[in-house]
Amino acid sequence: MKKFAIAISTVLLSTAALGAESFEAGFLSPTQLRGPQTSVDGVRVGLIYTVNQNVEGLDLNLIANKKQNFKGLSLGSFYDRTEGDFTGARLGWFVPLTFNSVGGNMTGLQLGAVNIVEKNVLGAQIGAVNFTKGGKGLQFGLFNKADSFRGLQLGFINYAEHLEGLQIGFVNMAQNSEIFEVLPLINFNFKF
C-alpha cells in the first residue's frame, strides 16, 4: 500500500508540474481547481463528484464523475458518466457496485455491475448487466442486451434483436435467428 501511495503521489506531482491543463482535482463540483467547463489532458482526481468537458489520460475518482468525452484509463468511482464517446478502459474500485454509462460510442473495456452504452460498443462489456444499442465484441454478464450485436454474448440471459454471432447462456434470444428465436444453452446466427 505504501508503494502504491508513493507511485500515485509521484504521478500527481509530476503531472501538476507539467502545466495547468494536465491536472485537475476536485471535491464536489463546482469546487474544483479548474472548474467543470475545462478539459483535462493528463490526470484528474476527484473525491465526491467531479465534472469536466473532455478528459484524456488517467481519471481517478472516489464516488462519481462526469465528462463529455474520454480517452484513457478511468479508475474508481461508483458512478461514471461519459456524455459523448469513451475510448479506453473503465475499472471500478468495487466492481459489484459500479455503474458505468456512455451516451455515445464506447471503444475498449467497461467493467462494472451495470454497463450502459447508448450507441455502439467495440470491445467488451463485463458486468452483471450490460446494455448497448449496437456492438462488436463481447458481452459477459448475468443479463446482456443489444439491439444489434456481432460477436459473443456470454451470460445467464442473452438478448439481441439482430445477432451475428454466438450466445451461450441459460436463455438465449436472437430475434433474427434462422432456426429458433429462443434456445437454452446455445444460440447462433451467422451470415456467410
pLDDT value, residue 114: 96
Q: Is residue 188 part of a domain?
A: no
Q: Is residue 68 part of a domain?
A: yes
Q: What does pTM read for this prediction?
A: 0.87
97 or 102, which is more confident? 102
Q: Is residue 30 part of a domain?
A: yes
Q: Is residue 112 part of a domain?
A: no
Q: Where are the beta strands (DSSP E) in the chain?
A: 23-28, 31-32, 40-61, 64-76, 79-82, 86-91, 99-102, 106-111, 114-126, 129-174, 182-189
pLDDT above 60 (res 11):
no
Q: Is residue 40 part of a domain?
A: yes
Strand partners, 49: 28, 64
Q: Is residue 9 part of a domain?
A: yes
Q: Is residue 132 part of a domain?
A: no
Instruction: State phi, psi for 123 to the nearest 5 degrees.
Output: 145, -135
* Structural domains of the chain, count: 1
Q: Is residue 25 part of a domain?
A: yes
pLDDT above 70 (res 6):
no
> Domain range spanning residue 51?
1-77
> pLDDT tens digits, residue range 33-82?
888 999 999 999 999 999 999 999 999 999 999 999 999 999 989 999 99
